[in-house]
Amino acid sequence: MPSILQTFLAIGTFSVAYAAVIVPGATWTDTSGNVIQAHGGGFLKSGSTYYWHGEDKVHNSGLFRAVSCYSSSDLVTWTRQNDALTPISGTSISTSNIVERPKVVFNQANSEYVMWFHSDSSNYGAAQVGVATAKAPCGPYTYRSSFQPLGAQSRDMGLFQDDDATQTTYLLYASDNNQNFKISKLDANYYNVVSQTSVISASTLESPGIIKRSGIYYLFASHTTGWDPNPNKFFTASALTGPWSAQADIAPPVTRTYFSQNTFDILVNNNFGIYMGDRWRPSLLGSSRYMWFPLTWSSGKPQIVQADLWSLNLAAGTYSVASGVTYEAESGTISGSATTLSDGSFSGGRAIGYLGNGGSITINNVQGTGAAQWVALYYANGDSTWRNTTVSVNGGSQVLVDQPNTGGGHVILSVPVKLTLRSGANSLTFGSGQSNYAADLDRIIVYTAT
């Protein structure tokens, strides 16, 4: 017989269950239920608390609105705090300027938090870094200045704080019209850049992050394709001065890093780290999604672990990728103009195409638990556009799911959607009631983890 205390604990467990899994590409909400606005983010650990600083793009504009600040004890459940940095008219961080990729480090000697960010004019012509300081992780930060480090351009940037006695910190940045990638050392206060440590010439790198593991430095970065994704790379060196290895992939290149761009990378322990990326949506910037994946090392090579749902146990130092039940689209019932496509890249060699615009597919006998469940749609767009598909469960109302551009060909990506399935058998219909074409549907995976 449950005591009142047990009942209370059960409710308590239920109330935090929503945050147990990381769902790359889903709408990620904070503890108030609002969509997390922290794009191009940076992460800082202070005591046992993590802080996430990022760009608030709720206004769907590239112009500066705020550097937001969220806190968490588990990297999954995030509470929004006060904004860390807000616009100041008449300066380089006004509402008509660009403030991107904020990164914060703690200066132990000064007991001060120092934020660096890409500081620019609206046409990216100024190509500067900005610096701001605060006495608390979320600030509010006091803006110091914006400048070109060592007199050269700086656009996409990151920071790396080394583990030496004085925690020497470095600026990582795309310089010289994004042609040369540079690493430069900061002064003891972290207010300025004092000397150039490394240059990777003609490398056209953006969105950098560094992890140090067993004495090796791993640099992660994308190439320069604007808001579009590309195959992100890693480079290794045994010192920040280099020499840096040739680039290598962190994910199958056709997936273009699962349609994401690196923003930050952390090492949890020697077994794994976390790749934190942005899935940019330039036409609706505030709907850009976060793409976080485990990062594992195999023969010294860091690789993303593809996962639709995964969980993190920081206390135990482990992660777990959820498994689900797969249903092939071709096992369903075709309606209208929908048709079966054959290609070796599809699971089982087949997918269903010509969905939407009069075609639909119903997958029957999908086993549900009677609760809201994550379902991953594995799809391909034959052309280089974003598409979307309707989904309805048991003939109920239609939910619209965005299907980011897979880059043409038969490249398969997945997108998550949360659907309420009844306990037992369900019928899921894709592509009905929409006048535009949906992507080709390869399969779905139904998860029970929440």
d(CA 168, CA 162): 5
Tell me: does residue 443 bind ligand NAG (CB under 6 A): no
**Residue type for 246, please?**
A
User: Nearest-CA neighbor of 447 among 377, 392, 385, 391?
Assistant: 377
Tell me: does residue 256 bind ligand NAG (CB under 6 A): no
Pick between residue 187 and residue 383 the one whose CB is nearest to ligand NAG: 383
User: Could you write out the DSSP letters of every residue in 410-435?
Assistant: T--EEEEEEEEPPSEEEEEEESTT-S
- DSSP-derived 3-state class of residue 409: coil
d(CA 36, CA 27): 8
Phi, psi dihedrals of residue 349, rounded to the nearest 5° = 80, 0
Pick between residue 17 and residue 400 the one whose CB is nearest to ligand NAG: 400
Tell me: does residue 82 bind ligand NAG (CB under 6 A): no
Pick between residue 345 and residue 436 the one whose CB is nearest to ligand NAG: 436
The token pair at 263 is: 């923003």
Closest separation between CB of residue 434 and ligand NAG, Å? 7
Choice from 280, 387, 404, 411 touching ligand NAG (CB under 6 A): 387
Pick between residue 180 and residue 389 the one whose CB is nearest to ligand NAG: 389
Neighbours of 429 (CB within 10 A): 23
User: Nearest-CA neighbor of 362 among 332, 392, 328?
Assistant: 332
Pick between residue 133 and residue 429 the one whose CB is nearest to ligand NAG: 429
Mark 345-384 with x for binding to ligand NAG (rule: CB under 6 A) and - for no binding.
----------------------------------------
* Phi-psi map region of 122: left, alpha, beta (phi>0 left; psi -120 to 50 alpha): alpha
User: Could you write out the DSSP letters of every residue in 330-396?
Assistant: GGSEEEET-EEEE-TTSGGGEEEES-BTTEEEEEEEEEE-SSEEEEEEEEE-SSSS-EEEEEEETT-
**Residue type for 76, please?**
V
Pick between residue 364 and residue 436 the one whose CB is nearest to ligand NAG: 436
Closest separation between CB of residue 361 and ligand NAG, Å? 17
Tell me: does residue 60 bind ligand NAG (CB under 6 A): no
Which residue of the chain is nearest ligand NAG when measured via CB?
436
Closest separation between CB of residue 356 and ligand NAG, Å? 8
Closest separation between CB of residue 432 and ligand NAG, Å? 14
- DSSP-derived 3-state class of residue 150: helix
Pick between residue 314 and residue 399 the one whose CB is nearest to ligand NAG: 399
Closest separation between CB of residue 146 and ligand NAG, Å? 36
Closest separation between CB of residue 442 and ligand NAG, Å? 18
Pick between residue 129 and residue 419 the one whose CB is nearest to ligand NAG: 419
| 294 preceded by a cis bond (ω within 30 of 0) | no
d(CA 413, CA 420): 23
Pick between residue 146 and residue 434 the one whose CB is nearest to ligand NAG: 434
- DSSP-derived 3-state class of residue 439: coil
**Residue type for 400, please?**
L
Tell me: does residue 400 bind ligand NAG (CB under 6 A): yes
Closest separation between CB of residue 12 and ligand NAG, Å? 38
Alpha helix segments (H runs only) across 188-246:
none
Closest separation between CB of residue 387 and ligand NAG, Å? 5
Closest separation between CB of residue 287 and ligand NAG, Å? 9
Pick between residue 384 and residue 436 the one whose CB is nearest to ligand NAG: 436
d(CA 10, CA 8): 5
Tell me: does residue 388 bind ligand NAG (CB under 6 A): yes
Mark 21-40 with x for binding to ligand NAG (rule: CB under 6 A) and - for no binding.
--------------------
Closest separation between CB of residue 402 and ligand NAG, Å? 6
Tell me: does residue 436 bind ligand NAG (CB under 6 A): yes
Pick between residue 69 and residue 439 the one whose CB is nearest to ligand NAG: 439
Angstrom distances, CA of residue 183 to CA of 107, 176, 275: 19, 13, 20
d(CA 244, CA 180): 13
Q: How many residues bind ligand NAG (CB under 6 A)?
A: 4
Pick between residue 149 and residue 356 the one whose CB is nearest to ligand NAG: 356
Mark 96-115 with x for binding to ligand NAG (rule: CB under 6 A) and - for no binding.
--------------------
Closest separation between CB of residue 414 and ligand NAG, Å? 18
Angstrom distances, CA of residue 253 to CA of 256, 288, 382: 5, 21, 17
What residues does 430 pair with on adjacent strands? 361, 391
Binding site for ligand NAG (CB under 6 A): 387-388, 400, 436
